[in-house]
Chain A
Amino acid sequence: MTPAAVAPLGRMLLVQTMAHLRIRWRIPAFSVTITALPILFFSFFGLPFASYTFPDGRSVGAHLIASFGAYGVGSVMVYAFGIGVANERATKMDLQMRVTPLPPLVDLFAKMLTALVFGLASLLALIAFGVTVGGVHQPVSVWATIVLRLLAGSVPFIGLGFTIGYVFGPNTAPAMANLVYLPLSFASGLFMPVDDLPRFVRLLSPYLPNYHYAQLAWSAVGARTESVGVSLLWLAAYTALFLTLALIAYRREERRNFE
């Protein structure tokens, strides 16, 4: 009877992504924090040493931009998904979406695209700050490598975000995201070198997701690290772990509300 029985998925994805971008952008607690915090941390921990070099000649500033970049993109994923999902559940937005013809996968992709855009924005802002204020200079190819690797490697943190979003409510989720993500970042040497951390933390860090995530960026600025392949393996394993947890939490929620 009607020429098209369903709406085109491509356009749906575009419009849904625009909506998610607007939602995130208009919640300053998210948009400002996400872009400002890495810059703020870099100012406190990084600026004083930005012009220093390591004994092997590498720029300390570039290393720290890589560290706080990793911190920033990971946090975008954990917060966007964690707090976003917790909010959707609390306001019953999930129920509203469920009775529309919007396929859940389209919504998921739209959320991922949104998080990637914010991750990219937070990285570009940090790099621009580092270059202009910190006077840290690297070839464009190095910055591009950092951006690409950090965006591509951020998947486990989406899983972590989902888990938090499905387990906790909108009031607890931000706190839990901080409680989980900040210690992970500290213990992985994102704020100070792993060698300066307490001994028991130093033993722990090689097993943490953020540690391997940051290696992707550190190796781009010339640090002697594990190979990219090893980092990716670790991240793949963490992706599997977090997505499994997220799936368990999601199924539990699903059984409660939609069965």
Chain B
Amino acid sequence: MAGDPENSSSVPGVPGRWRTSGGMGGPSRPPIPSVVEMIAARKRFGDVEALKGVDLTIRAGEVVAMLGPNGAGKTTSISLMLGVRKPTSGEVRLFGLDPNDRRARSRCGVMLQEAGVPSVLTVRELVDLFRAYYPAPIPARDAIAIAGLEEKANSTAGTLSGGERKRLYFALAICGDPEALFLDEPSVGLDVEARRAMLATVRALAARGKTILLTTHYLEEADQLAERIVVIDRGVVIADTTPRDIKASVPSKRISFTAEPPLAEAIFKDLPVTVLEISSRRVRLLSNEPERVLQTLFERGLTMRDLEVSGADLEEAFVSLTSGRESRR
């Protein structure tokens, strides 16, 4: 139901108008309670306006990925939702309550990027400590197992590797059996295996009806997990729609190759290419239709060496999405 496509009325290329959250549920459906409500939320740090009026509603059972480059306002948004910081203006509600209300907090599990725990306590002790904060926690053993930390249960937090530490924070986020999970960059710092396990766990939790908000700067990850993606850039929500719509508008692949002989920019003129860089013979470009681009280039008789096609770094992709923003309005 959440982020259902027929309601999104997406107009690719017109970011900011693709909101799905507002009009969900016709008159026949009972309203789904909202977990997070941000109404014209602004946040200013000194001279910097980190959030410039964000409207966002997350309803129970939704799995939402908040996507954006570093410094876009993702962490600030989460901080406001959880009451860690107060909005300069506007309103933020968590389960319909003040985010600092203990009743609201008791329904949330949180994994923050930069938070810390006492390094001298063991994994099991920390999980038991955090379980005591919640009204109906799951057994410590289960939380540790879900996070894949069985072998480290008796190790102190200070001796864990970066990835294990991340999994510990995940265990702490889920041990209270919360209805809503807030995961700030859950997969950063994890190796491939651990990342896959983490994504699978998040997906399983979503399947059990948990409301999940996660931030990421990997489009791929957002795509795999979420049914709704909120793109935030420079403190503004510039898109709020399904992964499919986002992918269509963001150049998702990066192509790079060395051209033989050196070529002119003109050859790309009619191709779906953004962010083109030609430095001597090395060509770098972004596209969401890499197959078509390459095929056309081959047809035009281009010879290339060291061809690489990879998932576009979102930071890069955003440059194209956001630099064109003004002109698209």
Contact of A96 with B117 at beta-carbon distance under 8 Å, contacts A19-B125, A101-B105 already known: yes
Question: Which stretch (A20-28, A173-181, A220-228) binds chain B?
Answer: A20-28
A5 and B112 contacting across the interface, CB-CB below 8 Å = no
A96 and B112 contacting across the interface, CB-CB below 8 Å = yes
Residues of chain B within 8 A (CB-CB) of A7 are: 106, 132-135
B105 and A95 contacting across the interface, CB-CB below 8 Å = no
- Measured in the bound complex, the distance between the Cα atoms of B203 and A56 in whole Å is 79
Residues of chain B within 8 A (CB-CB) of A12 are: 132-133
| Chain A 127-160: CB-based contact to B (< 8 A → 1; otherwise 0) | 0000000000000000000000000000000000
B121 and A101 contacting across the interface, CB-CB below 8 Å = no
B133 and A100 contacting across the interface, CB-CB below 8 Å = yes
B117 and A5 contacting across the interface, CB-CB below 8 Å = no
Q: Which residue of B lies closest to A20 (CB)?
A: B118
B80-114, CB < 8 A from A: 82, 84-86, 102-103, 105-106, 108, 110, 112, 114
- Measured in the bound complex, the distance between the Cα atoms of B159 and A101 in whole Å is 27
* Chain A proximity of B301: nearest CB distance (Å): 57
* Chain B proximity of A22: nearest CB distance (Å): 6
- Measured in the bound complex, the distance between the Cα atoms of B86 and A23 in whole Å is 31
Interface status of B257 (Cβ within 8 A of chain A): no
Interface status of B316 (Cβ within 8 A of chain A): no
**A96 CB contact (under 8 Å) in B105, B115, B136, B182:** B115
Residues of chain B within 8 A (CB-CB) of A19 are: 118, 121, 125, 129
B132 and A27 contacting across the interface, CB-CB below 8 Å = no
Interface status of B120 (Cβ within 8 A of chain A): yes
| Chain A 89-100: CB-based contact to B (< 8 A → 1; otherwise 0) | 001110110111
B117 and A22 contacting across the interface, CB-CB below 8 Å = no
Interface status of B26 (Cβ within 8 A of chain A): no
Q: How many residues of A are in contact with the other chain, CB < 8 A? A: 28
A22 and B125 contacting across the interface, CB-CB below 8 Å = yes
Residues of chain A within 8 A (CB-CB) of B135 are: 2-7
Interface status of A258 (Cβ within 8 A of chain B): yes
Interface status of A15 (Cβ within 8 A of chain B): yes
Residues of chain B within 8 A (CB-CB) of A96 are: 112, 115-117, 172
**B116 CB contact (under 8 Å) in A91, A99, A101, A103:** A91
Q: Which residue of A lies closest to B86 (CB)?
A: A259
Q: How many residues of B are in contact with the other chain, CB < 8 A? A: 31
Interface status of B9 (Cβ within 8 A of chain A): no
- Measured in the bound complex, the distance between the Cα atoms of B130 and A92 in whole Å is 16
Interface status of B4 (Cβ within 8 A of chain A): no
Q: Which residue of A lies closest to B110 (CB)?
A: A99
Interface status of B128 (Cβ within 8 A of chain A): yes
B174-190, CB < 8 A from A: 176, 182
Interface status of A199 (Cβ within 8 A of chain B): no
A22 and B84 contacting across the interface, CB-CB below 8 Å = no
* Chain A proximity of B43: nearest CB distance (Å): 9
Residues of chain A within 8 A (CB-CB) of B108 are: 99
- Measured in the bound complex, the distance between the Cα atoms of B86 and A59 in whole Å is 59
**B85 CB contact (under 8 Å) in A2, A3, A258:** A258
B116-151, CB < 8 A from A: 116-121, 125, 128-130, 132-136
Q: Which residue of A lies closest to B135 (CB)?
A: A4
* Chain B proximity of A255: nearest CB distance (Å): 10
Residues of chain A within 8 A (CB-CB) of B103 are: 5-6
Residues of chain B within 8 A (CB-CB) of A92 are: 114-116
Q: Which residue of B lies closest to A14 (CB)?
A: B132
**A95 CB contact (under 8 Å) in B86, B102, B116, B130:** B116
Residues of chain A within 8 A (CB-CB) of B120 are: 22-23, 26-27
B116 and A93 contacting across the interface, CB-CB below 8 Å = yes
- Measured in the bound complex, the distance between the Cα atoms of B86 and A103 in whole Å is 17
* Chain B proximity of A131: nearest CB distance (Å): 33
* Chain A proximity of B271: nearest CB distance (Å): 47
Interface status of A163 (Cβ within 8 A of chain B): no
- Measured in the bound complex, the distance between the Cα atoms of B125 and A105 in whole Å is 21
Residues of chain A within 8 A (CB-CB) of B132 are: 7, 11-12, 15-16
Interface status of A201 (Cβ within 8 A of chain B): no
Residues of chain A within 8 A (CB-CB) of B182 are: 99
28 contacts between A and B (CB under 8 A): A2-B135, A2-B136, A3-B135, A4-B136, A6-B135, A7-B133, A12-B132, A15-B132, A19-B118, A19-B121, A26-B121, A91-B117, A92-B114, A93-B115, A93-B116, A95-B84, A95-B115, A96-B116, A98-B82, A98-B84, A99-B82, A99-B108, A99-B110, A100-B105, A100-B130, A101-B105, A101-B176, A259-B86
